[in-house]
Structure formats: structure tokens, C-alpha cells
Amino acid sequence: MPDTEYVEIEHECDNHAGNNEQPMATGQQLPLADHGSGITRAILRRWLYLVLLCCAGAMVLTILLPWWQHQRHYRRPTSRLALQRSIFLCDPRLGTVADMKRGHFHSGMGEEIAVVGADAVFYTDFSGRLHSRVDFSMPGDGTRLVPAGEHHAFLQPGITNRLAVMDQSGKVRWAMGGNSHTGRYAAGDLYGDGHTEFAVGWLTQHGGCLRLLDENGQLLWERPDPEAFFRNYAVVDVWQDGHHEIMYPERDRLVLLDSQGQTTGIIRLPFSLENYTLCPWPSAASAPVILTTHQNLLWFIGFDGRLLAQRYLPDDYYDSASFYASPVKLRAGEPPYFAVVLNNGQGRLLLYDPHGAIVHEEKLSVECSALFAIPSKHNLQTQDLLLCSEGMAWRLAAGKVRPIRWFELF
């Protein structure tokens, strides 16, 4: 009997288990352990797709941006203009020509051309005929003329820790050396008395400073500046009021100093300025403008920080150490063309027509150190270019105009 009862109890337990409404879960029927992890993976997958899409878009923009800039700023030329090159002045007594200036250098002589070589300076008329000659007592490559009316001087950079200045008779006026190092410099008539002052970035054992020297090399004042040695200075009449200021860029602004070294103005720029030069611009009357390169373009900026014009630069011309530019009236009855030389180990001459199209390109074997326009010897209504390159003074005159065929545009 006991055994019978035990069997019946087990049978009832089995029936009770079979009647349970909760099904038994097998391994294959188990739900996911974490439903939220699936959502997380889906979100991550979508973010990954979005990142890849953004990367692809950035790559496309990188490819299309130069093309867009090209289409926006490049003007398709309709003709090519040849420039005929001839020697303006060549004389073995000059040595290697490193600078040329146009100005009034002698009383009663009118406007002249000063061709500065390593050994001497020749003063000529616009046809290259010699007026006078001055030999240098300190010959050397890289000598440059510093204009200040009839009291102009000649600056001899020499090595990095020397700065020498010769007067207009070619005699050494002063020279500096020693333990300090001279950086970039600018010269001009800061006090309006017809004499030349020199603003020089200096690096001494105690730090950097900007020094102003008179025409005899005497220190007028000193302004502490840790970055003075590396700055690019200019002495210019910014406001066209007859008073000159010392100007230098500091990131995205121009700093102006008066003749006492005090800050008189700060001008905002559209971007950080590094290399620049001052050049004439047709729409700016007699005032020079700032010329620089930025993002494959030439930028012409006024002293008020306003953008005046842009010109497209082909290839890698924007990566240049220095540049020179000048408007030039090459053809009668037409607005001025614009010539630019960019230096980076060798020179590149670009000529823009009045609409901004490049109508002439020329490769120079060495860098250029001067470029400006003079009256043409064939037509008083036009101008020629004077170019200092390859150790010589060259004259560039307008030649033949050749129409561009349709397949040359592509």
C-alpha cells in the first residue's frame, strides 16, 4: 500500500507539472540577454555611415575647391601678348646689378634711373644714356639704394651681423657689427627733413628690439620687441598727409609707429600677413598698396585694410619668398596692364590684362630684385618695364598680340 500511494503522488506531481501554463524555455527559445545593446549597435552603425559620408564630402570639397577658385578668379584670356626683351644697361664697371630706382637724385637733372651694381651706381635717363657714375668704397653684392630726396644712400647688408651704409658719393658713412644681429630693415624720411632714417630689427644677447638710426648710424631710440628681428618693416606715408610711419604686420593686423616709436594705429587685415611688398595700384592714385599672396591668389589691400583686388595665381606661384609688381600702360587707348614677378629661387613673370586675365608668363633663370614702368622710347603714350634680373638691367616692351585659339583654352 505504501508503495501504491507513493506512485500516485508522483503521478499527481507529473500531471501538475504538465498542466503548468508557463512553458519550459529551451536554449534555442531564450530571448536576447540585452535588447538595448542591439539598439546601441544600430546607432553606432548609423554614426559610422555619417562619419564616412562626411569624410567623402570633405575629400570631394578638397578636390573641387581649387577648381572653384580657378573658375571664380581666373579670367580666360582672349589673346597672348609677347614682351620683347632688350638690354637697358650693361657695363662691366657696374658689377652684378642688384637694384634699380626711379627718382630725382640730383638737383637740376630731372627724373633719372639709378642702376645699382655691386661696384658702382650709374645714373641714366629713360633711354639708358649715362648721366653720371659713382664707385663704391665698399663693394658687395646686394647693395640697394635707399631714397630720401637728394640725400639718398646705399645700404650694404653684408653678412648677418653687419649693416653698412654709404652716402651718395659712395663713401662709407657708418657700419655696425659686433655680437648683435641685424634682421629686416626699412629706410625713409621719418622726420620730413629730407634725410634718411633706418628702422632695423635687432637681436642682442638681452633680447630683440626695434632700433631707429639716423643717417650717420646714431641711435635715436630703441623699442623692446621679442619678435623685432623677424618682422617685415616699411617706412611709408600711410595716410598721405606728408608724415611717414613705420609699419609692420603682426598676425592679422598692421601696426603703425610714429617717428618716436609710439603706436599710432592698428589696422585689421582679412588674414595673417607674412611676406608682402608695397606697390602702386591704378585705382589708388599715388598711394602704394599692400601686395601679398594667400590661398593661390594675389591680394591687393589698402592701408585701411580694405581689399582692392584679387588676381589668380597658377600652379605654386603663391609659395614665394618675395615679389615685385607694377602697373604698366603697354597699349595706347587701353587701361594699364599689371606685371608681377614672384621669387622662390628663380623668378616668374606674370602679366595681367586690364580684365585680370594672364596674357604672358615667363620663367626667369634667377630671382628679380626690381620691377617698375618707365616711358616707352617708341611711343610717349605707352610704357615699358624695367626688370632687374640675371645681374643685368632689362627693358621689356610690348610686342605682338596673338589671338588664342579655342582649343588653347582647355
Lowest mean pLDDT among 146-160, 166-180, 250-264, 366-380: 146-160
The residue written with cell numbers 579670367 in the block is 75
pLDDT, tens digit (0-9, with 9 covering 90-100), for 369-387 = 999 999 998 888 999 999 9
The residue written with cell numbers 595681367 in the block is 352
Mean pLDDT to the nearest integer, 383-405: 92
When pLDDT is cut at 50, 70 and 90, the band that residue 25 belongs to is very low
Residue among 129, 136, 140, 196 at smallest CA distance from 163: 140
When pLDDT is cut at 50, 70 and 90, the band that residue 184 belongs to is confident
When pLDDT is cut at 50, 70 and 90, the band that residue 404 belongs to is confident
Distance of CA 121 to the CA centre of its chain: 29
Mean pLDDT to the nearest integer, 176-187: 74
pLDDT exceeds cutoff 80 at 37: no
When pLDDT is cut at 50, 70 and 90, the band that residue 133 belongs to is very high
**pLDDT the model gives residue 95:** 92
Selected residue with higher pLDDT from 216 and 61: 216
Lowest mean pLDDT among 16-25, 105-114, 148-157, 271-280: 16-25
Lowest mean pLDDT among 15-29, 68-82, 111-125, 300-314: 15-29
Selected residue with higher pLDDT from 71 and 169: 169
Distance between CA 354 and CA 336 in Å, rounded? 6
pLDDT exceeds cutoff 60 at 219: yes
Full-prediction pTM beyond 0.85?
no
Q: What is the CA radius of gyration of the chain?
A: 36
Contact partners, residue 277, CB within 8 Å, separation at least 6:
290, 291, 292, 322, 323, 324, 325
**pLDDT the model gives residue 150:** 73
pLDDT, tens digit (0-9, with 9 covering 90-100), for 335-352 = 999 999 999 888 999 999
**pLDDT the model gives residue 76:** 84
pLDDT exceeds cutoff 80 at 118: yes
**pLDDT the model gives residue 156:** 84
Residue 181 forms beta bridges with which residues? Answer: 203
**pLDDT the model gives residue 1:** 44
pLDDT exceeds cutoff 80 at 283: no
Contact 365, 345 (CB under 8 A): no
DSSP for 182-249, written as a single string: EEEEEEE-SSSSS--EEEEEEEETTEEEEEEE-TTS-EEEEEE-TTGGG---EEE-TTSSS--EEEEE
Mean pLDDT to the nearest integer, 97-117: 92
**pLDDT the model gives residue 284:** 60
pLDDT exceeds cutoff 90 at 125: yes
Percent of the chain clearing pLDDT 70 (strictly above): 84
pLDDT exceeds cutoff 80 at 106: yes
Distance between CA 181 and CA 274 in Å, rounded? 21
Contact 220, 213 (CB under 8 A): yes
Lowest mean pLDDT among 70-84, 234-248, 388-402: 70-84
Mean pLDDT of the chain: 84
**pLDDT the model gives residue 6:** 47
**Ranges 172-181, 201-210, 376-385, 400-409, most confident:** 376-385
Selected residue with higher pLDDT from 380 and 178: 380
